[in-house]
Amino acid sequence: MASGIRDKVAILGMGCSKFGERWDRNAEDLMVEAFEEGLKDAEIGRDQIEAAWFGTAIEEQHVGKSGIPLAMTLRLPYIPVTRVENYCATGTEAFRGAVYAVASGAVDIALALGVEKLKDTGYGGLPQRGRGGLNNLFWANISAPGSFAQLAAAYRAKHRVDAKDLKRAMAHISVKSHDNGAKNPKAHLRNRITESDVMNAPMIADPLGLYDCCGVSDGSACAIVTTPEIARGLGKKDLVAVKALQLAVSNGQEAQFGDWDGSYFATTRVAAKRAYREAGVDDPRKRISMFDVHDCFSITELVTMEDLGISEEGRAINDVLDGFYDASGTVPCQIDGGLKCFGHPIGASGLRMLYEMYLQLSGRAGERQRPAPVLGMTHNLGGFPSQNVSSVTIVGSYGA
């Protein structure tokens, strides 16, 4: 019977580029920026890496479809490189491949790297995608802000939430994330904002205003993983280990049957339950030290905290407004600024989230550092409320 991957894999090193409008850098430059930091952090040579997983989503815009660009850019030693894509969970998908390879015993040291170069496309948001590539008008009448605005409407109707209370909670989420992002030198947006800024911003898709939406950025992040035994043999102490890594993908039930009401993400609930079981977490509200969730929109973060079982259904608004998820709160969420301040270069986001958890657990997060974190969780959500993929990763101190 499957036993999961708890404590079978340790993070040897991680790297992350500066996120932003990197007009002076191409995708390969960003890959090198993240990889050089990760390799230095791991304190190994590139010839010790035995396999790699390469995450990128809009490949038509920059690197192409194969794993060759990663191998050539980083001068990897003729090792297998697998390119993966899974909507907004692409970075986590690359990490999953590397982690599973090590946990299976197939390789001793593996690399996961994600990158996306979006600002050169000329689009204000993510390029239109469909079954036939870019701009084929499949999903032409759907936008990300519009579909997540429908999530907000469904949530408000189900829980009979006052529109003003929901907007206040969403504003608090955005203000909180910008406060955190202002402390992060690698974030795209480092400006602090006020609740008034959010409430009075131009409307994008009611009730989502400008400051309720994450931006579009260029960026890259990577992780080098191995077994705890090898990590210790290389002189590493206070190991950060993978506790759980779960993925859930929509099967059509949300869109085709009547039991889903549009107010939550079924895939996130399934992935979270599996992850808690794999990690041996019985009460996540007490056990998880911090979260970095897929806050593509402020409403997404609010709903996700219920889907993860941290807030009770219909009560996330209260927890948000009470400061439960603030940097100084009980369980910080988006301690690094989140997608709200980093933007969302798709292939990199999942690994960027893990990078912050890794820094926090290693005690190297600078002025963002939380006291004695034990477990950190990251969450990615790709697609639309009725058709999506959710990933949940839990990392923590080895043996904890």
Fold of 10-121+218-236: Peroxisomal Thiolase; Chain A, domain 1 (3.40.47)
Of the candidates 21, 211, 196, the residue with the CA atom closest to the CA atom of residue 117? 21
**Percentage helix, strand, coil, to 5, in the chain?**
40, 20, 40
Instruction: Note the pLDDT tens digit of each residue in 352-385.
Output: 999 999 999 999 999 999 998 899 999 999 988 8
Per-residue pLDDT, averaged over 116-138, amounts to 60
Which residue type is seen at 346? Answer: I
Total residue count of the chain as it appears in this document: 400
Domain locations along the chain: 10-121+218-236, 144-209+241-397
pLDDT score of 127: 60
Per-residue pLDDT at 274 exceeds 80: yes
Q: Give the β-pairing of 81-84 and 375-384.
A: unpaired
Q: Angle at CA 64, nearest 5°, toward 58 and 66?
A: 110
pTM over the 0.85 mark: yes
Question: CATH for 144-209+241-397?
Answer: 3.40.47.10
CA distances from 161 to 20, 148, 296, 312, 313 (A): 35, 17, 21, 14, 12
Instruction: Note the pLDDT tens digit of each residue in 276-307.
Output: 999 999 999 999 999 999 999 999 999 999 99
Instruction: Note the pLDDT tens digit of each residue in 11-25.
Output: 999 999 999 999 999
pLDDT score of 400: 82
Give exposure, 150-175, as e/b (b: 16+ Cβ within 10 Å).
Answer: bbbbbbbeeeebeeeebbbbbbbbbb
